[in-house]
Amino acid sequence: MYQSEGYDPFKPETFVLRVPIRKGEVECKEITLRPPVLKDILRTDGHDPESVGYARALLSSLSGVPESVLDQLAPEDWAVLRVALTRTNMRFMGVINLLDKKDKKDGEGEADPTSAAAPTPPPNSEPTSAE
The model's pLDDT over 46-92, given as tens digits with 9 standing for 90+, comes to: 888 889 999 999 999 999 999 999 999 999 999 999 999 988 878 77
Strands (E), the chain: 13-23, 26-33
Strand 13-23, strand 26-33: pairing = antiparallel
The model's pLDDT over 97-129, given as tens digits with 9 standing for 90+, comes to: 555 555 555 555 544 544 444 444 555 555 555
Mapped onto helix, strand or coil, the DSSP state of residue 22 is: strand
